[in-house]
Structure 1
Amino acid sequence: MSKATPATAALEKAGIAFTVIEYRYDPAAGQTGNHAAASIGEEPARVFKTLMVLVDGKPACVVVPVAESISMKKVAATFGGKSAEMMPPAVAERNTGFRVGGISPFGQRRRVRTALAQEALMQPYVIINGGKRGYLVRLAAADAIAVTGAITADLLA
């Protein structure tokens, strides 16, 4: 059994195979996703960040490569909305049950619509936050899709 977080507990409950990767989280690192990729010696294209957004005022989750930016227009269109904006950090923490820097698409307090960047399908595996700062999980993109009910889409700017 792994050191359980709500994220890893959700993966285990779903029978998803994953590996935990821990690193020293540095809040002063700026681009924490790029810092995480460098810290674990992994290609940034395989390390994904979890962003909480509001599409027409409704919460949604997008998971994209750490070195990339999202297109709010594409995010809105993906979820059938007209506009999208970043969710305020305090709202994201309240909705997910995770702290900013440790938000995972797995095991969120309230399940929301989720989209995974289509680039994930080109990778042999993806690495996504495991529910706390400095705590990642490596798994197959197909498994990430299965456990979150995510759609894959073109989300990048």
Structure 2
Amino acid sequence: MAGKGTPATALLVRQKVAHRVHEYTHDPRSDSYGTEASELLGLPAERVFKTLVAEVDGRLTVGVVPVAGHLDLKALAAAAGGKKARMADVTAAERATGYVAGGISPLGHRKRLPVVVDSSANAFETIFCSAGRRGLEIEVAPADLIGLAQATVAPIAG
């Protein structure tokens, strides 16, 4: 994996968490990153999760939901103990996480952010999410992802 390490994969290795890294060729014309990963890796969209950054009562919060659905902002706000949520500004999300949009991982952020993982993740032995770069996914057990991210689990996908 030389040259492909990211803060997310480094964290998994450092914490000795079982995972697999899957690489695919990202099409720079695509802006549907999660769907692209699902299709190119030949995986059901319910098993591939996208990482979205929102603001809950003004505080950046990460929502992790299947690419087959969308982030329910009202549910995210409730799960994060807030009242109102809206999608975060892309620049703010990139600055806080240290990743570029389309490659934001739920792990290894530059700044500690609250993370909420959709409860559907627990239906699978392993799930896929961004490894911190477009074209790079990690496969990990939901419990390991939730534990490492110190995430809350709630039904936040619509």
Deviation at residue 122 of structure 1 after TM alignment: 0.2
Q: Secondary structure at the match of 1:37?
A: helix
- In the superposition, the TM-score normalised over structure 2's length comes to 0.95
Aligned partner of 2:34: which letter?
G
Question: Is the 1:114–1:151 Cα contact (8 Å) retained in structure 2?
Answer: yes
Q: Secondary structure at the match of 2:49?
A: strand
Q: Distance in 2 between matches of 1:136 and 1:85?
A: 26
Counterpart of 1:51 in structure 2 is 52
Aligned partner of 1:19: which letter?
R
Aligned partner of 2:77: which letter?
A
Deviation at residue 24 of structure 1 after TM alignment: 1.0
Q: Distance in 2 between matches of 1:30 and 1:12?
A: 29
Q: Secondary structure at the match of 2:29?
A: helix
Aligned partner of 2:157: which letter?
L
- Larger deviation, residues 58-67 vs 23-32: 23-32
Deviation at residue 140 of structure 1 after TM alignment: 0.3
Q: Distance in 1 between matches of 2:21 and 2:142?
A: 15
Deviation at residue 124 of structure 1 after TM alignment: 1.6
Question: Is the 1:26–1:32 Cα contact (8 Å) retained in structure 2?
Answer: no
Aligned length: 157
Counterpart of 1:122 in structure 2 is 123
Q: Distance in 2 between matches of 1:61 and 1:70?
A: 10
Any residues of structure 2 matched to 1:4-153 within 5 Å, and which?
4-153=5-154
Question: Is the 1:5–1:130 Cα contact (8 Å) retained in structure 2?
Answer: yes
Task: Specify every segment of 5 or more residues in structure 2 that has no aligned partner in the other structure, as ranges.
Answer: none
Q: Secondary structure at the match of 2:156?
A: coil
Deviations 1:83-130 (A, max 9, x none): 001111111110000011110011100111111000000012100100
Deviation at residue 30 of structure 1 after TM alignment: 3.7
Q: Secondary structure at the match of 1:85?
A: strand
Aligned partner of 2:29: which letter?
A
Deviation at residue 151 of structure 1 after TM alignment: 1.0
- Runs (4+) of structure 1 moved beyond 4 Å? none
Counterpart of 2:156 in structure 1 is 155
Q: Distance in 2 between matches of 1:151 and 1:81?
A: 13
Aligned partner of 1:70: which letter?
L
Deviation at residue 31 of structure 1 after TM alignment: 2.1
Aligned partner of 1:17: which letter?
A
Q: Distance in 1 between matches of 2:28 and 2:88?
A: 19
Question: Is the 2:54–2:87 Cα contact (8 Å) retained in structure 1?
Answer: yes
